[in-house]
């Protein structure tokens, strides 16, 4: 029998019940597909005494068409997302990103909410109990030194979910519930660049859905990532692009990244690059905008310099592809 | 430790067992139901050796909690036999040498079975996609892909 720490599971039937349970016990953890939380529990990285299972919340298990756009429930699985005809037609970038998450078997249960709230990752953190113990643990869990940047008191574990950037380039919003009501914020506002506290969600808050506006006519989206194990792996870096072409110019451009910082990043200032084709001059200016924002650290086996170069390459080739298709 | 009654259909038979909230599906299958064909190859979600089918879809039993399959149909390698004979996929893995040490094979066969139920005539690429979560340290995969292709095109008796 595998070692499993003890915990009990509660199964709320409504969002209101789920957030009330969390408010009553802020140490409890939500679980949806469990493809992130269960391995972390098995490795002793987290040890919640209580787990709140979100799979019984029918209200967040559907994809609805709202105001011309989509409202995607947090407990919708990645497999359901990929198979949805509406997404396949108009939200290609989301489908490409969801299809690049782990493997078929993970995607049957892994959810949108779990992917957006995915714990940040680091080679000193996502390890077995004995591996971490023999390394004196680290700042993010039970230790007091960061092995990536030992002089500081900051954790640089990387946000590694594939979906977030694909949703961000479409201007998605996060619908958040709490016992005192709810709020809707831009998805970009749900994160901060801190490996320990990467989510700006209160202890009694839960992500219930993402709202994705309909893309403007001709706005094309795509996603590309680089990974160590080609068949299945977290992104060393991932790039989502949204682009509209008119004649020989890019007239709309959004770029968002994952895997490079402790949060997914929306690159600001891309508007200033429009009105020209994606030639070397334009791409070089974009490289500059990206370079200023990203901060890959030695939190993966591939060195930060490699991840910097890979971001630039991925972004360039994805923009060229969407421009050709557009 | 909190427990609940797990009622499911396991390899075609209805069962009811009391399981602890923290019990993994793989431990339920191997230790409670005594079905040791499902293998554990890693410490969580990386290798696919533990793949079983839940309502026809592949699921990693090492990162699934047992209670989550309540009311579902679960199939393991022990349920693959049809009419007293090993299944077409099992014969294909045997004939085409898709199995060497055999440790990954139960997971490979269940993942392939799930794939063929969704897509009875997969291309080479679709097979690679469908098996992307399954690691094999022996065959080099070529023989595994041949096995699935030949099970799909019926060239295996
Ligand atoms: C081998 C392997 C490879 C993987 N590769 C990738 C990859 O390439 N890309 C990738 O993005 N992911 C990858 N994953 C991680 C994971 O499978 C996916 O990110 C998946 O979408 C997580 O969803 P889940 O429902 O299973 O999350 P869970 O494990 O259920 O939850 C993840 C976290 O989110 C919290 N949470 C869940 N739902 C909510 C909610 N509604 N509100 C607030 N908090 C919530 C949980 O408390 C937990 O902390 C991989 C996992 C494994 C094991
Ligand atoms: S960045 Fe530092 S503190 Fe954060 S997980 Fe890695 S080693 Fe630990
Ligand atoms: S044992 Fe389940 S994926 Fe390795
Ligand atoms: S046959 Fe040995 S691991 Fe696949």
Min Cα separation B29/chain A (Å) = 11
- Tell me, yes or no, whether A296 lies in a domain: yes
Confidence band of A1 (pLDDT split at 50, 70, 90)? low
What number is the ipTM of this complex? 0.95
Pair (A170, A37) in one structural domain: no
Q: pLDDT value at position B82?
A: 81
How far apart, in whole angstroms, are the C-alpha atoms of residue A15 and residue A312?
A: 41
Regarding whether A205 and A175 lie in a shared domain, the answer is: yes
Cβ separation of A104 and B115 shorter than 8 Å? Answer: yes
Q: Which of A230-234, A270-274, A317-321 has the lowest mean pLDDT?
A: A230-234
Q: Is the pLDDT of residue A213 over 80?
A: yes
The pLDDT of residue A241 is 98
Helix (H, G, I), strand (E, B) or coil at A208: strand
Output the pLDDT for position B120: 97
Which tens digits make up the pLDDT trace of B35-89? 999 999 998 999 999 999 999 999 999 999 999 999 999 999 999 988 889 999 9
Res A219 pLDDT > 70: yes
Residue with tokens 């431990």: B27
My answer on whether A320 and A225 are in the same domain is yes
For residue A149, being part of any structural domain is answered with: no
A163 in the same domain as A71: yes
Distance between CA B3 and CA A316 in Å, rounded? Answer: 53
Q: Which CATH superfamily is domain B88-153 in?
A: [2Fe-2S]-binding domain (1.10.150.120)
Could you tell me the two tokens for B15? Answer: 């069962």
Which residue among A197, A212, A227 closes a domain?
A212
Let me know whether A297 and A175 are in one domain: no
A268 domain-assigned:
yes
Which of A212, A227, A258 is the last residue before a domain boundary? Answer: A212
| A5/B22 CB distance under 8 A | yes
Asked, for residue A70, whether it belongs to a domain, the answer is yes
Do residue B65 and residue A108 have CB atoms under 8 angstroms apart? no
Q: Which of B27, B38, B62 to mutate to test the pocket of ligand 3 (most atoms within 8 A of CB)?
A: B62
- What is the CATH number for A180? 3.30.465.10
Both tokens of residue B25?
């599906």
Picking from A7, A9, A34, the nearest residue to B64 by CB comes out as: A34
Helix H or strand E encompassing A76: none
Interface A-B: count of C-beta contacts within 8 A: 92
Does residue A204 lie within any of the structural domains?
yes
CB-CB under 8 Å, A109 with B31: no
Nearest CA to A169 out of A110, A256, A105 is that of: A256
Task: Locate the domains of chain B by residue range.
Answer: 3-80, 88-153
- A102 and A79 housed in the same domain: yes
Fold equal for B3-80 and B88-153 = no
Which of A191, A212, A233 is the last residue in one of the domains?
A212
Query: Does A229 map to a domain?
Result: yes
Same domain, A78 and A22: no
Q: How many structural domains comprise chain A?
A: 3
Predicted pLDDT at A164: 98
Q: In this complex, do A105 and B68 lie within 8 Å of one another by their Cβ atoms?
A: no
Question: Do residues A66 and A185 share a domain?
Answer: yes
Domain identity same for A167 and A80: yes
Q: Could you tell me the residue range of the domain that residue A290 belongs to?
A: 219-325
Q: Which homologous superfamily does the CATH classification assign to the domain defined by B3-80? A: Beta-grasp domain (3.10.20.30)
Note whether A101 and A184 are same-domain residues. Answer: yes
User: Which residues of chain B are within 8 Å of residue A55 when distances are taken between CB atoms?
Assistant: 68
The predicted-structure confidence for A68-124, as pLDDT tens digits, reads as follows: 999 999 999 999 999 999 999 999 999 999 999 999 999 999 999 999 999 999 999
Q: Is the confidence at residue A235, as pLDDT, over 90?
A: yes
Is residue B156 predicted with pLDDT exceeding 90? no
Range in A128-132, A143-147, A193-197, B81-85 with the lowest mean pLDDT:
B81-85
- A258 CA to chain B: closest CA distance, Å? 21
Give the model's pLDDT for residue B1. Answer: 72
Residues with CB under 6 A from ligand 4: B 99-105, 136-139
Chain A positions in Cβ-Cβ contact with residue B44 (cut-off 8 Å): 38-39, 42-43
Higher pLDDT, B63 or A4: B63
C-alpha span between A266 and A193 (Å, rounded): 12
B133 touching chain A per CB within 8 A: yes
Handedness of CA B65, B67, B73, B78 (dihedral sign): positive
- Residue A251 within a domain: yes
The span from the CA of A197 to the CA of A175, in Å, is: 19
Q: Which residues line ligand 3 (CB under 6 A)?
A: B 40-42, 45-50, 60, 62
Residues A204 and A81 occupy one common structural domain: yes
Same domain, A228 and A250: yes
pTM more than 0.95: yes
A240 pLDDT higher than 90:
yes
For every residue of A25-50, which 3-state class applies, written as one string?
CCCCEEECCCCCHHHHHHCCCCCCCE
Residue ranges in chain A assigned as alpha helix (H)? 15-24, 37-42, 78-83, 85-90, 92-99, 104-107, 112-116, 129-133, 163-168, 280-293, 304-325
Q: Give the percent of chain A with pLDDT over 70.
A: 99
- The closest residue, in CA terms, to atom 28 on ligand 1 is A34
**DSSP state for residue A14 in the 8-state scheme:** S
């Amino acid at each position: 029998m595998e070692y499993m720490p003890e915990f009990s599971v509660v199964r709320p039937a409504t969002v209101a019940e789920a957030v009330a349970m969390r408010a009553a016990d802020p140490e409890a953890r939500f679980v949806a597909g469990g493809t992130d939380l269960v391995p972390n529990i098995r490795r002793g990285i987290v040890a919640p005494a209580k787990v709140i299972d979100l799979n019984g919340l029918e209200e967040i298990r559907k994809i609805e068409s709202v105001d011309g756009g989509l409202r995607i429930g947090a407990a919708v699985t990645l497999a359901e997302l990929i198979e949805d005809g509406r997404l396949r037609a108009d939200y290609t970038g989301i489908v490409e990103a969801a299809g690049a998450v782990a493997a078929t078997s993970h995607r049957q249960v892994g959810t949108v909410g779990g992917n957006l709230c995915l714990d940040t990752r680091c080679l000193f953190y996502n390890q077995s109990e004995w591996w971490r113990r023999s390394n004196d643990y680290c700042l993010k869990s039970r230790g007091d030194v960061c092995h990536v940047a030992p002089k500081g008191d900051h954790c640089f574990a990387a946000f590694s979910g594939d979906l977030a950037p694909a949703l961000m380039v479409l201007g998605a919003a996060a619908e958040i519930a709490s016992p005192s009501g709810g709020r809707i914020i831009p998805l970009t506002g749900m994160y901060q660049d801190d490996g320990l506290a990467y989510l700006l969600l209160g202890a009694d808050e839960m992500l219930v859905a993402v709202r994705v506006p309909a893309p403007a006519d001709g706005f094309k989206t795509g996603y590309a990532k680089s990974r160590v194990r080609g068949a299945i792996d977290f992104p060393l870096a991932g790039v989502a692009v949204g682009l509209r072409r008119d004649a020989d110019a890019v007239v709309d451009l959004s770029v968002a990244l994952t895997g490079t910082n402790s949060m997914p990043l929306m690159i600001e200032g891309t508007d200033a690059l429009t009105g020209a084709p994606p030639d070397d001059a334009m791409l070089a200016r974009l490289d500059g905008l990206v370079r200023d924002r990203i901060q890959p650290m030695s939190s993966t086996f591939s060195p930060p310099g490699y991840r910097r170069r890979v971001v630039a390459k991925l972004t360039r080739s994805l923009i060229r592809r969407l421009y050709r298709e557009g | 430790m909190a427990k609940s009654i797990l009622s499911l259909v396991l390899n075609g038979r209805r069962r009811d067992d009391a399981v602890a909230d923290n019990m993994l599906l793989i431990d339920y299958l191997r230790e409670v139901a005594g079905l040791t064909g499902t293998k554990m190859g890693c410490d969580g979600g990386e290798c696919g050796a533990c793949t079983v089918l839940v309502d026809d879809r592949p699921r990693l039993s090492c990162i699934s909690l047992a209670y989550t399959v309540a009311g579902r149909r679960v199939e393991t390698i022990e349920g693959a036999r049809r009419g007293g004979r090993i299944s077409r996929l099992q014969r294909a893995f045997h004939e085409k040498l898709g199995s060497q040490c055999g440790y990954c094979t139960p997971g490979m066969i269940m993942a392939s079975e799930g794939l063929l139920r969704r897509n009875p005539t997969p291309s080479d690429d679709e097979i690679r996609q469908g098996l992307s979560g399954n690691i094999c340290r022996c065959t080099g995969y070529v023989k595994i892909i041949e096995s699935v292709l030949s099970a799909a095109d019926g060239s295996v008796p």
